Structure 1
């Protein structure tokens, strides 16, 4: 994948693909449950691979959510129907009174966080050895600095590092590599 400077231009194809798919679906022939399942299974799944590697622009995430919301709510006489419930409430779990739609921005943070967890728990994988050699050869992933010439993938991972640091604890083991004042 050729990466240039603007992420909006590079990842704009995701929104275009989702919009094209939703226009092809016959909205008036589906029930609310059918529209919900279709948008959850297809529209949420399309950007997943890209979000696992790159942080999408906030504007793009909001536009994807807006496409999903407008499709689910439907249209009448080529105009969108009234939005009785906010999208934020619809993204809550069904146990909490929502519909269980995924919040794309939160999902976009969760996938790179999963990559960090994979680096921590499986340090012997080849990709993790390469990252360790290139970015944090002398320390660990929680305390390494992000170089200016880091790849977009590494910058994305380091952008969510702070979000998961509160949940990561270090096991003592023999205590040789433990920094008593810094490690949790």
Structure 2
């Protein structure tokens, strides 16, 4: 799940099987609660199961998060040479003949774009400023 985007149909089928395994059915009806409600956090009194599509996207986003500061890693050098030679990974396009891994990484990039922010400062770490 950390290298490829798993198709939604497969993830839905796996979630359905997990739900059936945990709760089963009686006369064609679910015994307890819906899978969605069981994926809610334990702090809300639920089971805290993971929604697989969100988990898949988070693992792929972690790949980008590891590439950004480590451009000298083997993975980063390979992807940079192939897909974003003259630009930043955040500005790279999918391209016409890109691999499934690259398309999966680009699919997850929106999470970083959504949560990224600029921090204005004097280029010192917080520990340097605070003493």
Same structural fold, with TM-score higher than 0.5 when normalized by the shorter chain: yes
Q: Which has the higher contact order (CA 8 A, sep 6+)?
A: 2
**Pair 1:89-2:37 in alignment:** yes
Query: Which residue of structure 2 aligns with residue 126 of structure 1?
Result: 74
Displacement of 1:170 in angstroms is 5.2
Displacement of 1:72 in angstroms is 0.5
Which of 84, 98, 103 is residue 150 of structure 1 equivalent to?
Answer: 98
1:64-115 Cα offsets, whole Å, 9 max, x none, are 0111111101356xx6663431111100110022201111111111111010
Distance in 2 between residues matched to 1:128 and 1:84, nearest whole Å: 46
Structure-2 change in CA distance of 1:168 and 1:137 (3 Å): same
Distance in 2 between residues matched to 1:136 and 1:172, nearest whole Å: 27
Displacement of 1:129 in angstroms is 1.0
Aligned length, in residue pairs? 123
Which of 73, 79, 87 is residue 23 of structure 2 equivalent to?
Answer: 73
Q: Aligned-residue CA RMSD in angstroms?
A: 2.3
- The two structures have a TM-score, normalised by structure 2, of 0.82
Which of 49, 52, 62 is residue 101 of structure 1 equivalent to?
Answer: 49
Displacement of 1:168 in angstroms is 2.4
Displacement of 1:137 in angstroms is 1.3
Displacement of 1:59 in angstroms is 0.9
Query: Which residue of structure 1 aligns with residue 127 of structure 2?
Result: none
